[in-house]
Chain A
C-alpha cells in the first residue's frame, strides 16, 4: 500500500476545500458582576463545514444561533476553542498565517457606516490594498475594477456620507474586493437597508459569485435572499441543524418553523395550497414557479 500513502498528499492539495471546519467548537466565557468566571456558553458546537471555491452558501438561523460567531472564525477574528478550521489550507490558529488568511477571506458587516474610513469613495476602497503594500499603479486598477463590479464607478469621487445605505454597503463590498480575496463573508449585509438597497446589494453579491467565482458566505434573516444560494446551512443553538439546496431546505416548512425560521412568502403560500390538497410540488421558490404549478394543477 505504499502508493496509497504517497498519493493522498497530492490528491488532498488538489481537491482541498477552500474552507474546511472539523468539529469546530467555540465557548464564550461568561463572567459575573465582579469579573469572575461564571460559566461557559457554547456558541458554536461541533460544526463541520466543507465549502469549495466558487460556492455560494447562505447561513440562516435565529438570533443567538451562533452564525456570526462561526463567521468570525472564517478570517481568524475568533479562534476555535476545540476542533480545527482550515482556510485555503491554512490553520486559523497559526499566528504566522493570520494576514494571509485575512487576505483570503474578507468580511462585510451589517452596518455600512461602521466600515467607512476614507473621505471619498476611491480612498475608502483603496484602504485595504494600500495596507497590504500593493503597488500604487495596481491599487488604482483594483479600485477601478472593484467599483465597476459593484456598479459604483460613477460615484468614485463622492463622499461616502452622501450615499444611500445600499450604495454604502456596495462600497464596503468593493473595499473587500480590492484585496482580491477568494471568499467574502457577509454578515447580514442588508439588515439595515430598504428594499431597493437590498436588491442592489444582492445583485452585487451574485455578480461576484457568477462572474468572479468568489466564494460567498451570506448570513441573513431574509429568506428571500437565501433563495439565490447554491446551498443553505441552518444553524440553531450552535449546531448546523439543516443543510441542502434552497429547494430542499425550504421544502421542510415545519422543521424550519421549529427552528424559529420561516420560508419565503411564496413558498409558504405553495405549502399551504399543497396542504389543502392541491397538486403543488415541494420547495417552490419563485412567483413564476408557483403560478405555473397552480395553472397546471
Chain B
C-alpha cells in the first residue's frame, strides 16, 4: 500500500509560548516493498513523522494518503490502518505485559476481532519470523533475554500482518550480536515477506549496510531524500547537521583527499575494501 505524504505541517502546543513547529512542509511518497532509512538529529521531527504514518498523529495542514485515500476523510477506518502500518516504538519490550510470550503476541490480532484459530496461527508465524523457538513460547516475557524480549515485541506487531513496518531505533541498547539479529530480521521481513520497512536509526553504518533509500530530517524539514549511496555523498552537509556518513565512506573520502584515486560513492566495509584494493593495484 503506497503512502503519499503531501505537504504536511505539525505544530506542538500551537498558540502557547511552547509552540514548536515539529514538521514543516514535509512531502514524500513510499512505494510498496521499499526499504527506507529515516535519520535526523534528536528533535529533528523523525519520531513525529513516524507517528503520522499510522495516523496516531494528524497533520495540522497537508494530507496523508494510503492507497490514494486521504486518512483524514470522513469515516476512514483508522483501526484497519493501524493493522496495516505497524509501528514498533523505541524499547518496545517495555510494552510486553501478558503472562507468557505467546499470549502477548496474540493481543494485537485478537483486538482486530479475528477468529481464535487465525489469531494463534498469526502469533505462531510472527514468533517464527523473529526467530523465537517453540520452547520459549510459554515462558513469561520477563524471563527472556534482552534481545529476545525485543524480538517478541516486534512479533506482537508482525502478528497484525502489517504491509508497512516502522521500526524506531530497534537496536538501541542491544549488544552487537543483538543488533545484528534485529537487523537481519528487518532484512528478512523486507526481502522474504515483501513488507515495506522504515528504519529509524542513528547508526549510519547500519543504514549503509541495510536500506536502499534514505530520508534525512532536519529542524522539522525533509532536507534529503534519495538512494542511500547518493545521500551519503553529501558529507559536508550531513556533518553540518550534526550527522555523519558511514565510517567506510569517510575513509574513502579522506583517502581521496590524501591523493589516492578512489571512488567516494561507496558506503559499506565490503565495498570500501574492494575499492581500496583496486585503487592500490592500479597505482602500480
Q: Which residues of A contact B (CB under 8 A)?
A: 61-64, 110, 164-165, 188, 191-192, 194-197, 221, 223, 260-262, 264-266, 268-269, 272-273, 276, 278, 287-288, 290-291, 294-295, 297
Q: Are B176 and A287 in contact (CB under 8 A)?
A: no
From A269, A276, A297, give the contact of B248 (CB < 8 A).
Answer: A269
* CB of B96 within 8 Å of the partner chain: no
Q: A265-B247, A265-B248 are in contact. Are A260 and B205 (CB under 8 A)?
A: no
Q: Report A-chain residues with C-beta under 8 Å of the C-beta of B205.
A: 265
Scan residues 263-284 of chain B and give those whose CB is less than 8 A from a CB of chain A: 269-270, 272-273, 276-277, 280
Q: Are A192 and B172 in contact (CB under 8 A)?
A: yes
Q: Are B273 and A195 in contact (CB under 8 A)?
A: no
Which bracket fits the contact residues of B?
35 or more
* C-alpha gap A51/B246 in the complex (Å): 35
Q: A276-B277, A287-B251 are in contact. Are A63 and B258 (CB under 8 A)?
A: no
* C-alpha gap A279/B250 in the complex (Å): 21
* Chain A nearest CB, measured from B61 CB (Å): 28
Q: Are B277 and A278 in contact (CB under 8 A)?
A: yes
Q: Report B-chain residues with C-beta under 8 Å of the C-beta of A62.
A: 175-178
* CB of B72 within 8 Å of the partner chain: no
From A63, A197, A295, give the contact of B255 (CB < 8 A).
Answer: A295
Q: Report B-chain residues with C-beta under 8 Å of the C-beta of A288.
A: 254
Q: Are A276 and B273 in contact (CB under 8 A)?
A: yes
Q: A165-B42, A272-B269, A276-B277 are in contact. Are A266 and B175 (CB under 8 A)?
A: no
Apart from A195-B243, A195-B244, list 14 A-B contacts with CB within 8 A: A62-B178, A164-B42, A165-B42, A195-B202, A196-B41, A196-B42, A261-B177, A264-B247, A265-B246, A273-B273, A287-B250, A287-B254, A291-B251, A291-B254
* C-alpha gap A61/B173 in the complex (Å): 13
Majority secondary structure of chain B interface residues (helix, strand, loop or mixed): helix
Q: Are A266 and B255 in contact (CB under 8 A)?
A: no
From A63, A262, A272, A273, give the contact of B174 (CB < 8 A).
Answer: A63
Q: Are A290 and B251 in contact (CB under 8 A)?
A: yes
Closest 8 pairs between A and B when the two form their complex, measured CB to CB: A265-B247, A260-B177, A262-B176, A191-B173, A194-B42, A272-B273, A62-B175, A63-B175
Closest-by-CB residue of B relative to A263 is B176
Q: Report B-chain residues with C-beta under 8 Å of the C-beta of A260.
A: 175-177
Q: Are B145 and A63 in contact (CB under 8 A)?
A: yes
* CB of B146 within 8 Å of the partner chain: yes
* CB of B113 within 8 Å of the partner chain: no
* Chain B nearest CB, measured from A128 CB (Å): 26
Q: Are B244 and A291 in contact (CB under 8 A)?
A: no
* CB of B51 within 8 Å of the partner chain: no
Q: Are A273 and B277 in contact (CB under 8 A)?
A: yes
* C-alpha gap A268/B268 in the complex (Å): 11
Q: Report B-chain residues with C-beta under 8 Å of the C-beta of A64.
A: 145-146
Select the residue from B147, B243, B254 with max chain A CB neighbours within 10 A: B254
* CB of B242 within 8 Å of the partner chain: yes
* C-alpha gap A195/B145 in the complex (Å): 26
* C-alpha gap A276/B172 in the complex (Å): 33
Q: Report B-chain residues with C-beta under 8 Å of the C-beta of A269.
A: 247-248, 251, 269, 272-273
* CB of B56 within 8 Å of the partner chain: no
Q: Are A110 and B250 in contact (CB under 8 A)?
A: no
From B42, B146, B172, B270, give the contact of A197 (CB < 8 A).
Answer: B42
* Chain A nearest CB, measured from B16 CB (Å): 15
* C-alpha gap A186/B266 in the complex (Å): 36
Scan residues 112-163 of chain B and give those whose CB is less than 8 A from a CB of chain A: 145-147
* CB of B193 within 8 Å of the partner chain: no
* C-alpha gap A195/B246 in the complex (Å): 13
Q: Are A194 and B41 in contact (CB under 8 A)?
A: yes
* C-alpha gap A64/B174 in the complex (Å): 11
* CB of B78 within 8 Å of the partner chain: no
Q: Are B173 and A196 in contact (CB under 8 A)?
A: no
* C-alpha gap A269/B175 in the complex (Å): 20
Select the residue from A264, A265, A266, A295 with max chain B CB neighbours within 10 A: A265
Q: Report B-chain residues with C-beta under 8 Å of the C-beta of A61.
A: 175
Q: Report B-chain residues with C-beta under 8 Å of the C-beta of A265.
A: 205, 246-248, 269
* C-alpha gap A287/B247 in the complex (Å): 8
Q: Report B-chain residues with C-beta under 8 Å of the C-beta of A192.
A: 172-173
* C-alpha gap A291/B279 in the complex (Å): 13
* C-alpha gap A269/B248 in the complex (Å): 7
* Chain A nearest CB, measured from B82 CB (Å): 27
* Chain B nearest CB, measured from A292 CB (Å): 8
Q: Are A63 and B146 in contact (CB under 8 A)?
A: yes
* C-alpha gap A194/B90 in the complex (Å): 13
A-B contact pairs, 12 of them (CB 8 A): A62-B175, A62-B176, A110-B173, A221-B174, A265-B246, A265-B269, A266-B251, A269-B273, A276-B277, A278-B277, A294-B280, A295-B258
